[in-house]
């Protein structure tokens, strides 16, 4: 997860650097010379390709919505960091060398015209302002690195098909079941069916052990939107061989069942059952 964020930031930063060097003004400041037209075109192409690659990486990891927002966030951080660095680099190019400063001192002693020497105080103020402006972006980056990943986008989510409908299923968190009142352990799971599939589905259920009838199919998945949640009780006598059973009832009355290995779907639940037996 952290490696993906780092890759997004690095790819965006290098892409912006390539686009900046493709501009004569910035290449003059950084390289002390303008680049040939062919190299500038190549850098411009490379920059856009890297930014597009960063966007594709974000969408591959978090799909369109979250991926696009994450990409824009790291794009902003990379862009602001590069802008301040280019400003600092341009300021450095204006600071005269030690030999030039000595020449100016000699001219002052002989009464010759003296050219003002840019000091380091403006540069220090620029760096301080840069740090202050980067603080909010640093907070945004910290939030991105610590935000909880959506369950159905994690690598441990199961993507399959039951009857005619494709689905994604995962435990809501990777923690063991929570023991609540009456000493009942409860565990939450999240499911999402394919787009447009829900209009053909009356209800979906999940439980430990194979259901003997539709009335005993377990707890129903409920909630607003495409992602629905079910909180199921875990019998104290359950074993890992019982499996987790998904039951889907169609609007036309057809019923489909599918078994999942507990260890595969929820290692935390499997560990909880193992400790209890």
- Global pTM value: 0.54
Total of domains in the chain: 2
187 and 136 within one domain: no
Return the DSSP state at 277. Answer: -
Q: Both 170 and 220 in a single domain?
A: yes
Neighbours of 258 (CB within 10 A): 17
For 185, phi then psi, to 5°, come to -80, 135
Same domain? 176 vs 218: yes
Where residue 183 falls (left for φ over 0; alpha for ψ -120 to 50; beta otherwise) is left
Q: Which structural domain range is residue 254 located in?
A: 151-276
Verify that 140 and 193 share a domain, yes or no: no
* 117 and 34 share one domain: yes
**Are 131 and 232 part of one and the same domain?**
no
Same domain, 186 and 261: yes
**Chosen domain end from 146, 179, 199:** 146
75, 83, 138, 152 from 127: Cα distances, Å: 21, 12, 16, 42
Q: Rounded CA gap, 223 and 183, in Å?
A: 26
Mean pLDDT per 10-residue segment, the chain (277 residues): 80 89 78 82 92 89 79 84 68 50 59 49 55 58 60 89 95 90 89 90 95 92 91 92 95 95 94 84
Same domain, 131 and 254: no
pLDDT of res. 28: 73
User: Which residue, among 165, 163, 217, 164, has the nearest Cα to 191 in the 3D structure?
Assistant: 165
Cβ atoms 77, 9 nearer than 8 A: yes
Query: Which domain-ending residue is among 146, 178, 194?
Result: 146
Are residues 79 and 23 part of one domain?
Answer: yes
Per-residue pLDDT at 220: 95
At residue 116, the pLDDT reads 47
The CATH number that applies at residue 164 is 2.60.40
Q: Are residues 175 and 233 in the same domain?
A: yes
Domain boundary among 146, 168, 189: 146
Contacts of 117 (CB under 8 A, 6+ apart): 96, 101, 104
Q: Check residue 117 and give its pLDDT.
A: 47
Question: Do 201 and 92 share a domain, yes or no?
Answer: no
Co-location of 71 and 207 in the same domain: no
């Amino acid at each position: 997860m952290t490696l993906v964020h780092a890759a997004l930031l690095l790819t965006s930063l290098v892409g912006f650097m390539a686009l900046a060097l493709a501009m004569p003004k910035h290449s003059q400041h950084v390289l002390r010379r303008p680049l040939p037209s062919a190299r500038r075109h190549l850098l411009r192409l490379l920059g856009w390709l890297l930014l597009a690659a960063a966007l594709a990486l974000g969408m591959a990891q978090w799909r369109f919505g979250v991926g696009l927002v994450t990409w824009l966030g790291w794009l902003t951080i990379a862009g602001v960091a590069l802008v301040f660095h280019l400003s600092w680099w341009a300021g450095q190019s204006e600071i005269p060398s030690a030999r030039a400063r000595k020449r100016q001192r000699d001219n002052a002693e002989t009464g010759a015209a003296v050219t003002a020497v840019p000091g380091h105080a403006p540069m220090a103020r620029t760096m301080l302002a840069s740090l202050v402006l980067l603080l909010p972006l640093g907070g945004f980056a910290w939030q991105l690195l610590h935000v909880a990943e959506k369950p159905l986008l994690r690598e441990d989510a199961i993507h399959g098909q039951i009857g005619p409908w494709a689905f994604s299923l995962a435990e809501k968190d990777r923690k063991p079941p929570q023991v609540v009142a009456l000493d009942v352990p409860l565990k939450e799971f999240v499911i999402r069916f394919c787009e447009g599939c829900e209009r053909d589905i009356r209800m979906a259920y999940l439980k430990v052990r194979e259901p003997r009838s539709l009335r005993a199919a377990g707890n129903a998945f409920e909630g607003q939107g495409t992602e629905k949640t079910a909180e199921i009780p875990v019998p104290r006598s359950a074993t890992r061989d019982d499996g987790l059973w998904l039951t889907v009832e169609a609007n036309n009355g057809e019923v489909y069942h599918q078994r999942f290995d507990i260890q595969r779907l929820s290692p935390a639940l499997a560990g909880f059952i193992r400790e209890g037996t």
